[in-house]
Homo-oligomer: A and B are copies of this chain.
Amino acid sequence: MIQRVGKSTLRFSEGPCVESYASVVGKKEMEGPLGGWFDQCHQDTTLGEETWEKAESRMQKEAVQLALHKGGLQKEEIDCIFAGDLLNQCISSTFGLRELDIPFLGQYGACSTMAQTLAMAGVFVESGAARRAAAVTSSHFCSAERQFRLPLEYGGQRTPTAQWTATASGAVVVGRQAPGGGGKTVRLREASFGRIMDFGVKDAANMGAAMAPAACRTLADYFADTGRRPEDFDLVLTGDLGQVGSSLLRELAEKEGLQLAPVHNDGGLMLYDLERQDVHAGGSGCGCSAAVLCSVVLGQMQAGKLRRVLFVGTGALMSPTSSQQGESIPGVAHLVCLTAGDA
């Protein structure tokens, strides 16, 4: 049963389980601090495909197939798949998943898409709309650069606030059966869908600043709705605010009376060694939060090292066209509360 709590939080009374998950990343991500956690790493980020877009599609398909494989599941056992990405018309999802023959529901939340797809899968399983649903997203540095910024060959300089789009994909299967294997069962407990926030940031090389207000708003609403506090969690994980956005979020949250610093981390800060790997303000992209969630975070939850986690996907809702037309960059953030074992 789904219960509404406060203004914008949903509570899942049964708590759908994470039945399986998987992550697939590229070379740079493998060389980062989380390298050992990923299920599959591609030294060759073309994945043997002719174009970066096709490589990203393949990565997304592999993530789903690996999640199915790890869970001992057949694709016929998945009632629907929520998927999205950053490419125009979400082609990494549509072409990546077209062979799977699973009812397909494309989602667009920019880099917040992993939280959005995960929450949707939770709503569908909890409500009985699906016995089992999958959630997947991806991003690829090379397809994103040429679509949103400049051709790689141009070799453009990056500003200090710029982030590095992760070459990565993550997939989760949500269902009602706690997986075997001795680990803690991870459950979806609550979800909050965010509102579009626009503080007028126009610098497309500073996505962290554009997204931080949305993250703050969704978190503040969630804490107000539930009466919980940041200290009730082992980890509040934002998707890809990077260094600039993370500092801003903590500042903004403090004004709301929320001390995030002791429990906050960010996918964009965890995926790379910022200094050594020259990624400026950190990682970004749909695949960034997806791969961090579907590796170390769910892994440590199953191991009992993290018991209560707020996963907050953060997205910048712009396009090159909107920026060229002088628009600011609105942000959105969606939140999922996850618990491990009896937490």
Contact = CB atoms under 8 A, between A and B. Distances in A.
A3 interface: yes
Q: Number of copies of this chain in the oligomer? A: 2
A88 B321 contact: yes
Interface secondary structure of A, over-half rule = mixed
A56 B106 CA distance: 21
Nearest to A3: B128
Contacts of A79: 4, 8
B105 A193 contact: yes
A37 interface: no
A145 B338 CA distance: 44
Contacts of A100: 196
B98 A330 contact: yes
B87 A321 contact: yes
Contacts of A330: 94-95, 98
Given A53-B322, A126-B127, A317-B91, A80 B193 contact: yes
* Interface size range on A against B: 35 or more
Contacts of A327: 95
Interface in A77-100: 79-80, 84, 86-91, 94-95, 97-98, 100
A318 interface: yes
Interface stretch (A107-115, A150-158, A179-187): A107-115
Contact of A89 (B104, B110, B124, B130): B110
A330 B90 CA distance: 12
List 3 tightest A-B contacts by C-beta distance, closest first: A127-B127, A106-B108, A89-B319
Interface of A: 1-4, 8, 10, 50-51, 53-54, 79-80, 84, 86-91, 94-95, 97-98, 100-110, 116, 120, 123-124, 126-131, 147, 192-196, 198, 317-322, 325, 327, 330, 332
24 contacts: A4-B129, A8-B79, A8-B103, A10-B129, A51-B325, A53-B325, A84-B106, A84-B108, A88-B88, A90-B108, A90-B317, A94-B332, A95-B317, A95-B322, A98-B196, A98-B198, A100-B196, A101-B195, A103-B192, A103-B193, A104-B194, A104-B195, A106-B108, A127-B127
